[in-house]
Structure 1
Amino acid sequence: MTAAPCDAGPDVLTLGETMVALRGSGPLKLGGAMNVSVAGAESNVAIGLARLGHTVRWAGAVGDDEAGELVLRTLRAEGVDVTAATRDPAAPTGLILFEPRLPEVTRVHYYRAGSAGSRLSPDDVPAAFAAPRPPRVLHLTGITPALGPSARDACRHALRLAREHGTEVCLDVNFRSRLWSREEAAAELREWIPYVDVLIASDDELPLCLPENGPTDAPEKSLVDGGVREVVVKLGADGATAHTADAALHAPAREVRAVDAVGAGDAFVAGYLSALLDSTDVPTRLDRAVTTGAFAVASHGDWEGAPTRAELDLLGSGPGTVVR
């Protein structure tokens, strides 16, 4: 697969860190062979969208090293535009190790402190918007601002540019307690909410986005009332809900044999944004999201099981149901 052209501007711009991923077959202390790939929430979404036929640009920083070349080569091979990516000669590409311990438990070890991705700068962002047409959607996660002050400032600058260009913003909260505290995350992300059109989160992440000292009994309603157009809540095996000013809708999860939950949330986001770009209604967006999420949990790897558009019907389909 060759990179999809973004000369007229991409459908989606993602911004974040992609690392080299090593996957073992058991306890790391016992050694053994490891599979080498790449992983990163934002690039997982980018690959998922590219496989569904959308033009996607990934902006991030990698080291001027062979690991960085693997990241860029993999994304290009999956049809993702990496022309806005930067190489940092003073920092390495990040590393993530996956250690399976039980059938449903995988330990994750990060080696990303001081990585090139954590040093992403606001100066790196404008090039990602530079095209005859700006991206239709900017997709961010709560991971990138947790990497350090520079990456945080880069995200803030991207939000401002999105507003200037009329680009919709999708935020997947994706809270990582090993990167920052809930208090730190809330202090940052609540400042982002006025820019956000589509908010995607698990139910325990929603409070991180609410105004300080605001009501917490109905976070979805509070966020919609505050200006977020769609609040999408990922419920794992229970499916997902979408809340708008008009209704709340629910879609059950697809029934598949789960083999690896890593990357399922990113696949869900890719499906939702794909249907959004296709100008479908909210029930159809939810339906595609739970479908792409199911493909992910039924496959090993962060993004390897992401479906193409032609494969979406393999799991069947059904509309979401109105619950309010």
Structure 2
Amino acid sequence: MKIAFFGECMVELSGQPLRRTFGGDTLNTALYLARLGRSRQLSVSYATALGTDHISSDMLTAWQEEHIDTAMVRRLEHKLPGLYLVETEPSGERHFHYWRNDSAAKFYFATALSPLEEAIQHRQLDILCISGVSLAILAEEAKAILVTLLEQMKANGGRVVFDNNFRPQLWTAKQAQYWYQQALPYADLVIVSEEDDRRIWGDCDVLYRYPAFGCDEVVVTRGSQPCLVYTEMRSGNAVRSEVAAKVLDDTTDPSAVGDAFAAGYLAGRFSGGSATMAAELGHELAAIVIQHPGAIIPPEAMEDIL
């Protein structure tokens, strides 16, 4: 099964002394899914744009070492990846500072036909995954191109996954509403952060909103509370289940925890598991990731679930 993600990965600076790594919502999920997918016959690709600088080259090499197919990555001269700095207070509270206005990923669709567009035209993908951030970083014309690609995926018989990640630094709730309304009619599976849903829509009315868009499966994450899983929503008789999260004493760093849950859930579902089993795998991976600093944890920390 061939799964592609589109989005932005940035250079991350964090820790004392500062340590340079990388992260981004869709990249985090793609990377963790690639690790889980090697034993589950899942092939993961990442579509984004990077610069031609050595830091971009280092990022590309790191993804390839994680068995992510990078054939759909564009390299743009005179552009650089975005950058963010994480400051952590003694209390554990984190502050994020971003430098991404001219990020290479924003220009993925700005020149000739992109590798992602070509792959969809030639029916080379089974699943396309995007997030709210994937849309938010793009100019209006490029947003429209991405939505058209979702439509083409559906027309080709493929599936679309949408994660509602919302970053108020990138756009307003009203802007997000508009573009989510354009994208959601093509989404088969939606991963919803309850907190973000309330920020965008003012509530988290899953049983009304998502079936109205035609979505068939919705997973609602609620922090340390049990996640809610709804399947068969198009039938009008949705099946609802709750799957408890793991309760931990040590929560070192919540970076990428939601992304890790998404990867575990997708790995479970796309390898033929039930929604409940997939949510359990998502919680298990999230519980591992939250005990390590940074968005990307060492592969050996995941050995028990690979």
Normalising by structure 2, what TM-score? 0.88
SS at match of 2:136: helix
Shift of 1:111: 0.8
* Cα distance, 1:295–1:182 mapped onto 2, change above 3 Å: same
The 1-side partners of 2:299 and 2:282 are apart by 11
SS at match of 2:224: helix
Q: Say which is worse superposed, 197-206 or 227-236, in terms of deviation.
A: 197-206
Q: Number of aligned residue pairs: give it.
A: 292
Q: Please list every run of at least 4 consecutive aligned residues from structure 1 whose deviation after the TM superposition is greater than 4 angstroms.
A: 207-210, 305-310
The 2-side partners of 1:120 and 1:202 are apart by 27
Aligned with 2:266 (options 265, 273, 277): 273
Q: Are 2:117 and 1:126 aligned?
A: yes
Calculate the aligned-residue CA RMSD, in Å. Answer: 2.3
Corresponding residue for residue 169 of structure 1: 160
1:218-248 CA deviation, whole Å, 9 max, x = no partner? 3334312542111111111113111223321
Is the CA contact 2:198–2:204 (under 8 Å) kept in the aligned structure 1?
Answer: no
The correspondence of residues 288-307 of structure 1 with structure 2, limited to 5 A, is: 288-304=281-297
Is the CA contact 1:20–1:96 (under 8 Å) kept in the aligned structure 2?
Answer: yes
Corresponding residue for residue 33 of structure 2: 49
Corresponding residue for residue 243 of structure 1: 230
Q: Are 2:55 and 1:67 aligned?
A: yes
Aligned with 1:148 (options 130, 134, 138): 138
Shift of 1:208: 7.3
Is the CA contact 2:288–2:302 (under 8 Å) kept in the aligned structure 1?
Answer: no
Normalising by structure 1, what TM-score? 0.83
Is the CA contact 2:285–2:302 (under 8 Å) kept in the aligned structure 1?
Answer: no
SS at match of 1:102: coil
SS at match of 2:168: coil
Corresponding residue for residue 7 of structure 1: none
The 2-side partners of 1:247 and 1:174 are apart by 24
The 2-side partners of 1:154 and 1:296 are apart by 34
Shift of 1:151: 4.4
SS at match of 1:204: helix
Is the CA contact 1:264–1:296 (under 8 Å) kept in the aligned structure 2?
Answer: yes
Is the CA contact 1:265–1:293 (under 8 Å) kept in the aligned structure 2?
Answer: yes
The 2-side partners of 1:118 and 1:62 are apart by 10
SS at match of 2:209: helix
* Identical amino acids, percent of aligned pairs: 24
Is the CA contact 2:4–2:45 (under 8 Å) kept in the aligned structure 1?
Answer: yes
Is the CA contact 1:14–1:46 (under 8 Å) kept in the aligned structure 2?
Answer: yes
Corresponding residue for residue 82 of structure 1: 70
Is the CA contact 1:241–1:286 (under 8 Å) kept in the aligned structure 2?
Answer: no
Is the CA contact 1:19–1:40 (under 8 Å) kept in the aligned structure 2?
Answer: yes
1:275-314 CA deviation, whole Å, 9 max, x = no partner? 111111111111111111111111111122567875129x
Aligned with 1:36 (options 2, 15, 20): 20
SS at match of 1:276: helix
* Cα distance, 1:178–1:217 mapped onto 2, change above 3 Å: closer
Shift of 1:105: 1.3
